[in-house]
Structures are given as structure tokens and as C-alpha cells.
Chain A
Amino acid sequence: MKHVGEVKSSNYLLTKFQELVDWAVNSSRANSLWPMPFGTACCAIEFMATAASRFDFARFGMERQAFSPRQADVLICAGRLPFKLAPVIRRIYDQMPQPKWVISMGACASTGGIFDNYAMVQGIDTIVPVDVYVPGCPPRPEGLLYGILLLHKKIKGESLFDAVRRREEQPLDDKGLRLPPETIDEISEPFGNSVHQFRSS
């Protein structure tokens, strides 16, 4: 009988079972994300450039773009989102199976951008939960790739066994909102040197 700890080969690895499972599952998930493109504006052009041969996000496991939400992992909202499209993107998000992530690409998707007006959602995080915000107007393909790599990092940090951090469905509340109204008002406020304007009511 050998003593404990006396192993002939040097090729061994000690880890916890949970971490092994997390490593296996999360690397597989992170390295084969299927994006669901939701392109509404010029950001979608940069998104297409990112998908095309010069930048080619297939190198990061996004070979297959899913044009059906049922077979998608990550929703990439590329472009401004008018209020008329808000129920559409919410339904697409609800139709995606867990686990799912959202990348908000560009200034308009993240904050409303220059469109601080009556027709535009001031940040898609008032509609769906967002994992990565990519700044830019529009972001260059490198920017989107960096956002995708950040998402990889985030996915690899998740754990199947952590009840708190496990991804849950985030349904709308009884008022049909994702966030409390005060929060939506707060994050929709104009910022930077946006001209201040009072509401009429």
C-alpha cells in the first residue's frame, strides 16, 4: 500500500468537485455563446462588421448566430430602442431559454444616447436586465469584442451551486415593470450637458 500523498505521476490536479463542475460548465457556456442580434440602427452595422471576416467573433465561439430567441444565449441589442419596440424586445428576452445574457451595445441602447425624447427608451436596462454595456456611438468592432470577452469573464465567474448568484427568471411585476418606477425615473434622467427641460405635467 502506498502512503497517502505519494503519487508517482506529477500530472494531477486537486480541486473541489463543485469548482470542477463550474469550470467545465462555464467554460463551455462562455466559449460557445450563440448571439441573438437585435439590431435597430447604426450599431447593427458595426455588429455585422464584428461578425464578418476581418474581426470575426466566431473566433470567440459565436460561430452560429441565432435568429430565433429559442436557440440563443446572449441578446445583443445594437441600436436605439423606441418605446414601440419595448414589448418586442421584452418578449424576445422572455422567449430565450436560461441561462441567458444581454449585451447593450452602444450609447443609445445603454442610456438613450442623443435621443432624449418622447419616443425612445432611456436605456434597455429599464426593460430587460443587462450584463455588459458597450460604450460608443457606435462602438468599433474591437469594442464589441471586448464586451464579449468581458461577458466571458462574467460567465466564468458564475457558479451553479451558488443560490444567490444563480440566474433566475426576472419576470415583470404586477404593474408590468421590471424596476420600481422611481428607479426608472432616476436612471432615465438627462445627464452630462444635456439641456435641462421641464415636463409640462
Chain B
Amino acid sequence: MIPGALRETVARDGERIVYVARDRLLAAMHWLKETPGQEFNYLVDVTAVEFRDRERPIEVVYFLRSLERRADIRIKVELPSTDELVVDSVWSLWHGADWLEREVYDMFGITFRGHPDLRRILMWETYAEGYPLRKSFPLRGRFSRAEQVRQALNANPEAHYSLEELSIAEAGGDLPEDMRDRLRRGERGVIPEPPPS
């Protein structure tokens, strides 16, 4: 029995869907990954669903696969929309969750507690219009087109890289001082000192 399991349904294709209590998510995931006979060692995807019915909770969906057993399972966590949208990160179990959870954060605004680098991944970091896949988000965005163009043209294309990628590119000299401080303290990679001029 999966720890924290609330109820279970079957998808149209015969795949198991298990709803798990939010505070037992990590326990359930750890059990599914490590227990012999389960061995769901591959995290296929993390995504979220918001329903048209605003009363229904937002669901965070985890697609797991056991490569040895050739079995799939879906784990769902319900987040009531009245409540804070926070769920534990499964990054400690599957490091592949890093970008998947960043995408869910970017599109839905769901915070993953314990994620090492929770930043926007598709939209740029200074994007201020909200979370595009939420039902409350207008299709064309909140700002006028002129404002969107202005913000886009004033964006710095290099700012989309992570600190690690920037340190690889040895872009150290071009970075703002606070970012270089963070890098020197060892957050996400080490950046070389700019060459003495």
C-alpha cells in the first residue's frame, strides 16, 4: 500500500492513478522508488492541471515508470486553489525533476519546496504578467502589446542562462556584482575571476 494514498482510479488506457495526500507525497514517492516490486525508477514527467471548475483543486501529476518492470503509474496531488500552492519537490529522489518542476512553477506558479533552483524556465526571469497556464490568465497576456514589446526588447538575451551555464561560458566579467557574489559563494557552479585588465 502506497503511504499517504487517498484513493485510486484507473485511466482510460488502464493505467493506475493514485491520489496521494500532499504532506505524504515524499514518503509515497520514496516508497514507490525503493520498494522491491515497485521500483519506479524513472520520472517521466511532472505537470499540473487546473480545471474549468474553479472549485476543483489544482492537481500536480507525476508520471512514473519502472524500466525493469515495464510498468507505469500516475501519482496526483491535489492543491486546493484557496490554499497556498506549495508541494514538496521530488528532486531529491529523481534529479530529472529539476527542469520539470521549474516548468510547472513557470506555467502554474506552484512552488516546489526543496527545489535547488526554482526559477522560470520558459518565460524570462523578469516576466511579470503572471503564470500563463492558469485559468485566470488572459490568452493574450495582461499587458498591452506595446508594453510586451517594450519589455521584450529591453530584455537581456544572456539573462536566460543559469549561473552554471554562464560560468561555463566564462561570462564572469559581464555579470552584475550580486550574481558574481552568489557564484563565488559556490551557488550553482564556480565562476572564474575576470582577467586583470
Contacts and interface: CB of A to CB of B under 8 A. Distances in A.
Interface residues of B, number: 27
Interface residues of A, number: 30
B118 to A, nearest CB: 19
Interface of B is mostly: loop
Contacts of B142: 199-201
Contact of B149 (A88, A121, A182, A198): A121
A190 to B, nearest CB: 8
7 nearest CB pairs, A to B: A118-B141, A181-B146, A188-B145, A83-B152, A86-B152, A184-B146, A176-B154
B149 A175 contact: no
A195 B101 CA distance: 32
B149 to A, nearest CB: 5
B150 A88 contact: no
A177 interface: yes
A167 interface: no
Contacts of A198: 138
B139 A175 contact: no
A116 B146 contact: no
A177 B146 contact: yes
Contacts of A90: 153
Interface in A143-201: 172, 175-178, 181-182, 184-185, 188, 197-201
Interface of A: 83-84, 86-88, 90-91, 116-119, 121-122, 126-127, 172, 175-178, 181-182, 184-185, 188, 197-201
Contacts of A172: 153
Given A87-B154, A126-B145, A181-B146, 15 more contacts: A83-B151, A84-B123, A87-B155, A87-B157, A118-B139, A118-B140, A119-B123, A122-B145, A127-B153, A175-B150, A178-B153, A181-B150, A199-B141, A199-B142, A200-B136
28 contacts: A83-B148, A83-B152, A84-B152, A86-B153, A86-B155, A87-B152, A87-B154, A117-B139, A117-B140, A117-B141, A118-B129, A118-B140, A119-B132, A119-B141, A121-B149, A121-B152, A122-B145, A126-B145, A176-B150, A176-B154, A177-B153, A181-B144, A184-B145, A184-B146, A185-B145, A185-B146, A188-B146, A200-B136
